Structure 1
Amino acid sequence: MSREILTVVETVSNEKGLDPDDIFGAIEQALVFSTKKKVYTEQPEVAIRVAIDRKTGDYDTYRYWTVVADEDHEMPACQKAISDLDENEYQIGDIIEEQIESIEFGRIAATQAKQVIIQKIREAERALIADAFEARVGELITGEVKKASRDGYVIDLGDGAEGYLAKDQTLPREMLRPKSRVTALLAKVNRDGRGSQLVLSRTSNEMLVALMTKEVPEISEGIIEIRDVARLPGLRAKISVKTGDSRIDPVGACIGMRGARIQAVQQELDGERIDVVVWSDDPAQYIISSLEPADVSSIVLDEDNQTADIIFGANDQLARAIGSQGQNVRLASDLTGYKLNMMLESEYLERQKSESEAIITLFYERLEVDRDLAEALAEIGFTTIEEVAYVPAETFYDIDGLDDETIGAIQERAKEVIINDELIKQQNIKEPSGELLALEEMTPAIAYKLAERDIITLDDLAEQAVFDIEDIEGMGSELAGKLIMAARQSWFE
């Protein structure tokens, strides 16, 4: 039998390129399994070790026990209590071995060894493929469709490597047939044995970037930089580009002579329309460029909230900016990171008039000034009572007929309104319980926001669902879930 073991090791090692020691280990595992099955059928927890001599193929079998404390002595088949041994000779954690008769390397052991060896071969092959492709993540890979299923496609990449292209990573209208060639982005390499090893994508933004890099030498050479990408895969996309070389037109270089470069990319993406725009560090200019070919009349930015009002002079320009099924504005918003509010100039003026009327009414009613003065305050840019109360007095000098005394009286009245509002607010504040405030990861700000919703005690919080409170500022669904579960712990206790 020793010669048979050496023959198996040598044959498998030569054919499959496996380390001989891994094959010896697989055979040792198989012999352990067979020994338990043949000799210790009634004691499956018994601990067995087999040691094969790597030179001769001879092997010995040992049964062993682990020395444990008396209170941990729960499995006599593989444990020995320290009190049953000479404490001068053994310590907790020591291994006691006893050689037993070895079984033959028979059919059962050989079958088991074969299964382990096959698994080892698969693991080795996966490791080799992972090593070969890991450095290529983010690159384009071309292969042949080997098999199609309901959920995706297996792509033969050559040399025994296979990629997986899920249906949701393909373009909307494309149907890939066996034997057809396909180019995709290598999105991920899985080293573990679960799931597809080489994950491919044709819908990711990186796919578009890789195609543009392939077709436009100035991008691959670093002369032109792709800054942002937004895609509706298979339908339409926008990319923004910039260059530090004033002699180069980055948009023209990406499009190519007679559109040859951009057409090559579009053809690979099943006709996906691609707009190339110039990136700008000026958000207003960047948004205007992203909405081309629409002609923007004016733009009002709110950089703090990342929103922008886009105003158009004519219906046809507004329709062009929105695009078919809202594609153009959606991509422009994704590209720039701004929420874009599209409107005609007439709508914007009407909204401004409505907002101005609300501000005038606020000043007229709360500050108890006449309407002409309320209109004048709104005209020079005041929008809140806080602004009226605390800006420098010189700000009011643009209003005709106001002296310092009148300005002082207006600001004092504004401060009184603010103080009164704060007192009313404090009177209505509900106090969260100490137990609620003491919850781990609870902050005073969140606790008081909960109290405003009549969630004051642990029981109140425990009765909530995540969607009831996740909208509170600073909360989010993950923290909401943690706090609710922590509150419910008191029920179990």
Structure 2
Amino acid sequence: MDTSVPRPELLLVADAVAREKAISRDEVLEAMEQAIQKAGRAKYGHEKDIRAVIDRKNGEVRLSRWTEVVEEVENEDAQIAHHIAIRIQPNIKIGEFIIDPLPPIDFGRIAAQTAKQVIVQRVREFERNRQYEDFKDRVGEIVNGTIKRTEYGNLLVEIGSAEALLRRDELIPRENFRNSDRVRAYVYDVRKEPRGPQIFLSRTHPSFLAKLFAQEVPEIYDGIIEIKAVARDPGSRAKMAVTSKDTSIDPVGACVGVRGSRVQAVVQELQGEKIDIIPWSGQAATFVVNALAPAEVSKVVIDEEAGRVEVVVPDDQLSLAIGRRGQNVRLASQLTRWDIDILTETEESDRRQEEFRTRTAGFVSELDVDDVIAGLLVTEGFRNVEELAFTPIEELTEIDGFDEAIAQELLQRAQDVLVKRQNQLEQERQSLGVSDEIVELDCFTPSMLISLGEKGIKTLDDLADLASDELIEILGADSLDEETANAIIMRAREHWFNEENDANS
């Protein structure tokens, strides 16, 4: 019995579909094989393992039934017991298959329609997979496309055989595109979804500006000049920090170009967005000063723990440093990744004088000294009694006007103040009813114990009942982090587990 049918027309169809959909010929033939298999299972039984193979040379279709040889049959339609299989094929082993050729299928109208649907579906899947594979490695590139249509302000952009989404919020403000317009955009994400690959474009992304400069400036493309950071207010203003690996090349000048030719090409693409190109520096203070250009800076104070920078500018430079609606300082902050506070020289002087008066008055009150001694302590950088109490006497005697006797007396008075405060806090803790068991955890300062007592946390059980966020809220986020709070609460709960173990034993 002839169980195969040469079908050269299948190869012609596969070639045509492959060219049209830009996928491989084998992928189209695989889709056809699955369609024939589905039709075969519809005829011979869906539970049976029916497989089809199309010869890649002459289009011959071979249909066969595969039966797996097993020790114990669980599915009679697709499996056969080994002791029976050896009667058919004496040397066959468990795990192998008995292959029975089947006669060719005469496709009726319904079977043909079903096969066509399977082929179309599989070809579409192959096409989507190809598009995803083509674009997954193009994240971070600039692409050119044509506006296909607009949906609720979002643009669907045709990029070759694929379709990408340029959302309204990824467009530069006041930018208008019509169907069939050409557009350049940055690929910032490609996702594989059931409905096909989703390609997301942006014209507001900071990297779009960086990639545009890479196209205009050969030194950036060649890696001689590096773009270290970009901050944008799309359509209005941007700041870009650059550095050069070759000391003979000015990175700012190279990016600007002769008579501004290079930067102007980027500005035109970004609808007139003004671009400040500044030299990058590994020194945080220098980088902040550069980022605030064109404003002049008098002084920079960095608080690394808080991630903040205090910048002092001349009075007449304040509006320039802040910029219109805070734009200049906001972009500088984004560029440097520091929170920037701007003060005028007058404001800084007034604040410094006020701090001097406050600290001086504090020393006068707590140490019972005159204004001259208190002023000297403040001038030397002491901010409070705690700092003074733990200072070596040798450092105090180095201050002009302080001999060893004065230094010793100041240290003694500072230490007495701390002891007095400690006693007051201890009395307050006891009056609030905060138990000694909480104190013995050795996790809290005296002031923290007062805060706990004021919130009604007085026993280990009270503390153990808290969640970490509740403890942080009581003591303040500056006092402890979530990990520390969890550790404290678990220590407070230890007595629960001990009591439970004692009861079980």
TM range (shorter): 0.7 to 0.9
Q: What SS class does the counterpart of residue 155 from structure 2 fall into?
A: strand
Q: Which residue of 1 aligns with 2:142?
A: 140
Distance 1:405 1:197, change over 3 A: same
What is the CA-CA distance between 1:117 and the residue it aligns to?
2.2
CA-atom RMSD in angstroms: 4.5
Q: Which residue of 2 aligns with 1:461?
A: 467
| 1:11-410 superposed matches below 5 A | 11-16=13-18, 22=27, 26=31, 29-30=34-35, 47-55=47-55, 56-61=60-65, 105-158=107-160, 160-194=161-195, 196-314=197-315, 316-410=316-410
What is the CA-CA distance between 1:329 and the residue it aligns to?
0.7
User: What do residues 237-269 of structure 1 show as CA deviations (whole Å, max 9, x unaligned)?
Assistant: 001122244443322222222222211111100
What is the CA-CA distance between 1:174 and the residue it aligns to?
0.4
Q: What SS class does the counterpart of residue 263 from structure 1 fall into?
A: helix
What is the CA-CA distance between 1:301 and the residue it aligns to?
2.5
Work out whether residues 291 and 335 of structure 2, in 8 Å CA contact, stay in contact via their aligned partners in 1: yes
Work out whether residues 380 and 398 of structure 1, in 8 Å CA contact, stay in contact via their aligned partners in 2: no
Q: What SS class does the counterpart of residue 226 from structure 1 fall into?
A: strand
Q: Distance in 2 between matches of 1:94 and 1:343?
A: 80
Listed as ranges, the gaps of 5+ residues in structure 1 are: 41-45, 81-92, 438-443, 484-493
User: What do residues 365-414 of structure 1 show as CA deviations (whole Å, max 9, x unaligned)?
Assistant: 34444443222211111013332122232332354543323322322443
Amino acid of the residue matched to residue 204 of structure 2? Answer: T
User: What do residues 152-197 of structure 1 show as CA deviations (whole Å, max 9, x unaligned)?
Assistant: 2122233x23332222211111011111111112223445545654
Q: Name which of structure 1's ranges 449-458 and 206-215 shifts more when overlaid on structure 2.
A: 449-458
Q: Name which of structure 1's ranges 412-421 and 93-102 shifts more when overlaid on structure 2.
A: 93-102
Work out whether residues 468 and 482 of structure 2, in 8 Å CA contact, stay in contact via their aligned partners in 1: no
| Percent identity for Structure 1 against Structure 2 | 34
Q: Distance in 1 between matches of 2:4 and 2:332?
A: 72
Work out whether residues 240 and 279 of structure 1, in 8 Å CA contact, stay in contact via their aligned partners in 2: yes
Amino acid of the residue matched to residue 252 of structure 2? Answer: V
Q: Distance in 2 between matches of 1:380 and 1:310?
A: 23
What is the CA-CA distance between 1:100 and the residue it aligns to?
12
Q: Distance in 1 between matches of 2:416 and 2:120?
A: 83
Matched, 1:475 2:449: no
Distance 1:463 1:319, change over 3 A: closer
Q: Name which of structure 1's ranges 324-333 and 379-388 shifts more when overlaid on structure 2.
A: 379-388
Distance 1:58 1:287, change over 3 A: closer
What is the CA-CA distance between 1:223 and the residue it aligns to?
2.9
Work out whether residues 10 and 20 of structure 1, in 8 Å CA contact, stay in contact via their aligned partners in 2: no
Distance 1:405 1:99, change over 3 A: farther
Distance 1:330 1:463, change over 3 A: closer
Q: Distance in 2 between matches of 1:299 and 1:259?
A: 31
Work out whether residues 41 and 50 of structure 2, in 8 Å CA contact, stay in contact via their aligned partners in 1: no
Q: Distance in 1 between matches of 2:306 and 2:359?
A: 21
Work out whether residues 367 and 410 of structure 1, in 8 Å CA contact, stay in contact via their aligned partners in 2: yes
Work out whether residues 31 and 109 of structure 1, in 8 Å CA contact, stay in contact via their aligned partners in 2: no
Q: Which residue of 1 aligns with 2:84?
A: none
Work out whether residues 131 and 197 of structure 2, in 8 Å CA contact, stay in contact via their aligned partners in 1: no
Listed as ranges, the gaps of 5+ residues in structure 2 are: 81-93, 491-505
User: What do residues 332-371 of structure 1 show as CA deviations (whole Å, max 9, x unaligned)?
Assistant: 1111222111122221122222222332233333444444
Q: Distance in 2 between matches of 1:153 and 1:33?
A: 40
Count of paired positions:
448
Q: What SS class does the counterpart of residue 276 from structure 1 fall into?
A: strand
Work out whether residues 9 and 23 of structure 1, in 8 Å CA contact, stay in contact via their aligned partners in 2: no
Work out whether residues 68 and 95 of structure 2, in 8 Å CA contact, stay in contact via their aligned partners in 1: no
What is the CA-CA distance between 1:230 and the residue it aligns to?
0.9
TM (norm. structure 1) is 0.74
Work out whether residues 298 and 312 of structure 2, in 8 Å CA contact, stay in contact via their aligned partners in 1: yes
Amino acid of the residue matched to residue 409 of structure 1? Answer: E
Work out whether residues 172 and 233 of structure 1, in 8 Å CA contact, stay in contact via their aligned partners in 2: yes
Q: Name which of structure 1's ranges 462-471 and 450-459 shifts more when overlaid on structure 2.
A: 462-471
Work out whether residues 51 and 60 of structure 1, in 8 Å CA contact, stay in contact via their aligned partners in 2: yes
Determine which structure has more spread, i.e. the larger CA radius of gyration.
2
TM (norm. structure 2) is 0.73
Work out whether residues 152 and 165 of structure 1, in 8 Å CA contact, stay in contact via their aligned partners in 2: yes
Amino acid of the residue matched to residue 170 of structure 2? Answer: Q
What is the CA-CA distance between 1:59 and the residue it aligns to?
2.1
Q: Distance in 2 between matches of 1:10 and 1:175?
A: 46
Q: Distance in 1 between matches of 2:233 and 2:259?
A: 24
Q: Distance in 1 between matches of 2:95 and 2:472?
A: 51
Q: What SS class does the counterpart of residue 382 from structure 2 fall into?
A: coil
What is the CA-CA distance between 1:292 and the residue it aligns to?
1.5
Distance 1:109 1:392, change over 3 A: farther
What is the CA-CA distance between 1:200 and the residue it aligns to?
1.8
Q: Which residue of 1 aligns with 2:494?
A: none
Q: Distance in 2 between matches of 1:215 and 1:403?
A: 68
Q: Which residue of 2 aligns with 1:441?
A: none
Q: Distance in 2 between matches of 1:415 and 1:232?
A: 54
User: What do residues 100-127 of structure 1 show as CA deviations (whole Å, max 9, x unaligned)?
Assistant: 9997644444333323322332233334
What is the CA-CA distance between 1:231 and the residue it aligns to?
0.8
Q: Distance in 2 between matches of 1:66 and 1:150?
A: 59
Q: What SS class does the counterpart of residue 145 from structure 2 fall into?
A: strand
Q: Distance in 1 between matches of 2:263 and 2:220?
A: 13
What is the CA-CA distance between 1:275 and the residue it aligns to?
0.5
What is the CA-CA distance between 1:297 and the residue it aligns to?
2.7
